[in-house]
Amino acid sequence: MEDQWKTYNPNGSKRVIVTKELPGTKWLDILQESDCRVDVGQSRDIVSNEEIKSTIGEKCDGVIGQLTEDWNEELFEALNNAGGTAYSNYAVGYDNVSVDAASKNGIAVGNTPGVLTETTAEMAVALTYSVARRVVEADEFMRNGKYDSWLPDLFLGNRLWKKTVGVIGAGRIGSAYARMMVQGEHMDLIYYDIYQNKQLEKDVKAFAKFLESHGEEPVSITRADSIEEVLKTADVLSLHPVLNDKTFHMITGKELAMMKKDAILINVSRGPVIKEADLVEHCRNNPDFRAGLDVFEDEPEMEPGLPDLSNVTIVPHIASATRWTREGMAVLAASNVAGILNNYPAWEDEDISPFLTDDPPKAAPSIINAQADGVPSNSG
């Protein structure tokens, strides 16, 4: 086990486990400046719950964990028994974390919002253009030496300009993606969300006015009453919900059948939102339908048949993978854990950018269960 974990600041009075090496160095400084001994996992494989539990051992004050790990009741109990009070996911999504079990064990749970919004939206945009213009297929064609002659019908794709973009889940990432497509391609926007996104509506309407004032055709925004309405209308549909019982298998064969035959489906949220077997079947039977996927139902596995489909572009859950974002996520995760161990309150503003400066606030930037009874950041 020893060589699988690297220890920094061995004489720190508190002990923090970080299950994977993180980009940059600032996160480590934050933890060390808070007098933490830091044990960092060196393996590039998924760390098992058994190994996490044995590494927590008898004394562990806080953990930074990964979305590939199952942070269940057993782990939070082990952390509580080891004197721990803080856990941060190294992700904005936390469907891998049993927040209730953490609260019950008096453990604050952090996540890393704010630094990955545009970065993740950019990947959704990259996949949109890749599938619309068949970039990956064409790249493979070139590499295989098949380019013999310019041809009028070589790799015909879909035009996006002034078409309709659909977004399901208009939170931070979904609305950042919508803005990029609306402003870049003058697409009309139709979105479905249980919450009305007033700021997004205001911004799209202001953009429409701006276009009109230049004598150009305006864009529109529609909040749909049902997912069905979005499915039927969108030329491009991007999924941005959180994963929960209600959004699990939100898209099955039935929903895919409602979409336009040559629609584009993008998913950078969580794999189980789509029933992947149905998507494979649909893409096989509808060669003009295209999909761009960053996430998969049973990661790191893929549904059999998926990699054989030329109308699908697949990347390995890298939507938040820019250096700036991943270093920022590390700073936020470390600040969550250090903040709780220093007895700082939870930060209440959605804007976490002050934590990225050289003079960060004395707070834990993003604690999901700050309001739960018995959780350390709860001052009330």
Residues forming contacts to ligand GLV in the complex (CB under 6 A) are 67, 91-93, 113, 116-117, 171-174, 240, 320
Nearest approach, Cβ of residue 307 and ligand GLV (Å):
21
Question: CA–CA separation, 35 vs 13, rounded Å?
Answer: 6
User: Which residue's CB is nearer to ligand GLV, number 167 or number 234?
Assistant: 167
Q: Tokens 């999909």 belong to which residue?
A: 291
Nearest distance from residue 352's CB to ligand GLV, in Å? 11
Structural tokens at position 66? 């990964």
List, in sequence order, every residue forming a beta bridge with 267; answer none if it has no partner. Answer: 239, 293
212 catalytic, yes or no? no
The residue from 134, 172, 270, 326 that is catalytic is: 270
| Nearest CB to ligand GLV, comparing residues 242 and 309 | 242
Structure tokens at 206: 């202001």
Nearer to ligand GLV, 167 or 346 (CB): 167
How many angstroms separate the CA atoms of 174 and 33, rounded?
A: 36
Residue nearest to ligand GLV (CB): 171
The residue among 173 and 338 lying less far from ligand GLV, judged by its C-beta, is 173
Closer of 47 and 319 to ligand GLV (Cβ): 319
8 A C-beta contact, residue 163 and residue 235: yes
Q: Nearest CA to 325 among 28, 93, 120?
A: 120
Residue 36, strand partner residues: 14
* Residue of 36, 25, 31 lying closest to 60 (CA atoms): 36
ω before 365 within 30° of 0 (cis)? no
Distance CA 71, CA 49 (A): 8
Residue closer to ligand GLV (CB basis): 172 or 290: 172
Catalytic residue among 172, 282, 317, 326: 317
- Residue whose C-alpha is closest to residue 177's, from 230, 124, 127, 131: 124
Identity of the residue, 63 or 78, whose beta carbon is nearer to ligand GLV in the bound complex: 63
Q: Is 276 marked active-site?
A: no
Q: Rounded to whole angstroms, what are the CA distances from 380 to 207, 241, 267, 283?
A: 43, 31, 39, 52
Min CB(329)–ligand GLV separation in Å:
7
**How far apart are CB 13 and ligand GLV at their closest, in Å?**
31
Cα distances (Å, whole numbers) of residue 265 to 31, 35, 88, 283, 316:
41, 47, 31, 10, 17
Is 140 tagged catalytic? no
* Shortest spacing between CB 112 and ligand GLV, in angstroms: 6
- Report the phi/psi class of residue 73: left, alpha or beta, with left for phi > 0 and alpha for psi in -120 to 50: alpha
User: Residue 242 Cβ, how far from ligand GLV at the closest point, in Å?
Assistant: 7
Smallest distance from ligand GLV to CB 364, Å: 18
Query: CB-based burial of residue 358 (10 Å sphere; 0-12 exposed, 13-18 middle, 19+ buried)?
Result: exposed
Looking from the CA of 113 toward its CB, the CA atoms found within 13 Å total 19
Q: Which residues are catalytic?
A: 270, 299, 317
